Amino acid sequence: MISYERTALTIWISKGVSVVCKVASLPVLLSILKTDEYAAFIILVSLESWFLLLDCGLGLSIQNFLSETFCPQEKKSQLKTALVFGGIALSLGFIFLLSLHPFLCDFLFSKGGSLVSSSHFLLAGSFLLLGMFGSLGGRILLGEQKAFLFYLVQGLVSLVVFGALCFFQNQIKLREAICLFLGFPSIATFFLTAFLFNQVDWTVPFNFSVLKRAKKFALFAFMAACVLSVDVFILPRALKPDEIVQYHVISKLFAPIAFTYSAWLQGFWPTCSSLWALKDGAQISQKIFKYCFLGVIFSFIFTCSLLCFSKSIEMFLNVSLPLMGILWGGIYLSSRIVADFYAMALQSKSDLKPFFYLVPIQALISISMQWTLAFFWGMTGIFAGLALSYLVTVCWALPRRLGKVKQNLYV
């Protein structure tokens, strides 16, 4: 079996366990938390993408370097640089959080009254910071094609969290839900990354080329967050708590397809970097097209299935699910599958130039469309705004860019 296929299979099994546990957790959480409590919990969990930005692009940078480098001494130098500066980012993040958490909590939950206290926000933010540092370990293991270790831990953690949720459900409120779903996974991945410190050779010099490339990834990650994660700021201002819950439930229902394609994407990334190094652009192009085609087909089938069984799902979860929300959720997922695979192919070559003009345009479209459509269509408008931002920008521009890069390999 090809290395990336073995890695993807391992990730699929682990992610599959995580997806099943998260979907199975929905009816339990919906039954034990009030609607406004669950809506607040969703917002806090959704902040993860913004906290991940605090690694300043180190994760993607070290992953690419480890995939491209075959010199053991150079790998040791890169590993030391990533972990040390990741630790510095973690320390600065805690200083930032301790100083500003009352203001940030008030800014985010000003419409929600006193339901979420600054202590709730501080607790969630602390766990998210640990998760940010823990994600570095996952990137390092991905770069070394040992990602199965990271995802094995995640799969086991998901089982433990779900078991604890079922066992202690009568005692769980907002604070306990934060500790379970943010705290336990973050602490587990934090210790996994901390364990990698034991493998650092402190005698080797720092490799500042990792930091130099990280700046480009940091800027790109920020722009991507403005496209994908700006909903966390729009949801509490444009939607009611029950609409926030609907949006979250539909997102989780699409999780099996999202995790399946993302696992394959992550597993193929290191091999894609190696194929670029071998100047085999034709094979990259063929495989990316095939994966996009299969992903869109599966997304279409899954969306149709959700539409057909929506009434049964509503009865099981005791929450209404607008059909237009499911339809636009499927369109958004399909467009993202295409864009993400082509984006991965370019990022694995560290070709970020097109993103610096495409993603800001997409971000402006995404923010404006989500904000506008949310007031007219409710939670359906969030999915519609996301889907439209992909369809009019990266879905057609990134495939063209990959074609040009492939041609330049043979010039």
**Predicted local distance difference test score (pLDDT) of residue 4:** 53
pLDDT attached to residue 411: 46
Structure tokens at 26: 């929905």
CB of 324 closer than 8 Å to CB of 245: no
* Amino acid at position 177, single letter: A
Decide: 258 and 326 in contact? Cβ < 8 Å: no
- pLDDT value, residue 309: 94
Predicted pLDDT of residue 214:
82
How many other CB atoms sit within 10 Å of the CB of residue 328? 25
32 vs 34: CA distance, rounded Å = 7
The full set of domain ranges for the chain reads 1-228, 230-411
- CA 67 to chain CA centroid, nearest Å: 21
pTM: 0.82
Q: What is the pLDDT along the chain (411 residues), one digit of tens a residue?
A: 445 556 666 667 777 788 788 888 988 998 898 888 898 999 999 999 999 998 888 887 877 777 666 666 667 777 787 788 888 889 999 999 999 888 888 888 876 545 677 888 999 999 999 999 988 888 887 777 676 677 778 888 989 999 999 988 888 888 999 999 999 999 988 888 888 777 777 777 777 777 777 887 888 788 888 888 888 999 988 888 899 999 999 998 998 788 778 777 877 877 787 788 778 778 888 889 999 999 999 999 999 999 999 999 998 888 889 999 999 999 999 999 999 999 988 888 878 788 888 989 999 999 999 999 998 899 999 999 999 999 999 999 999 999 888 877 654
Q: What CA–CA distances, in Å, run from 348 to 40, 224, 402?
A: 36, 16, 12
Q: Which pLDDT score is estimated for 42? A: 92
In three-state secondary structure terms, 6 is helix
131 — phi, psi (to 5°)?
-65, -35
Q: Name the packing angle between helices 394-408 and 281-308 (round to 10°).
A: 160
Q: Where are the alpha helices (DSSP H) in 144-254?
A: 147-167, 174-178, 184-196, 209-228, 231-238, 241-253
- C-alpha span between 66 and 62 (Å, rounded): 6
Nearest-angstrom CA–CA distance, 357 and 361: 7
pLDDT value of residue 119: 85
Contacts of range 81-85, beta carbons closer than 8 Å, 24 or more positions apart: 81/206, 81/207, 81/208, 81/210, 81/211, 82/58, 82/136, 82/140, 82/210, 83/136, 83/140, 83/193, 83/196, 83/197, 83/200, 84/200, 84/206, 85/56, 85/58, 85/211
pLDDT at 71: 66
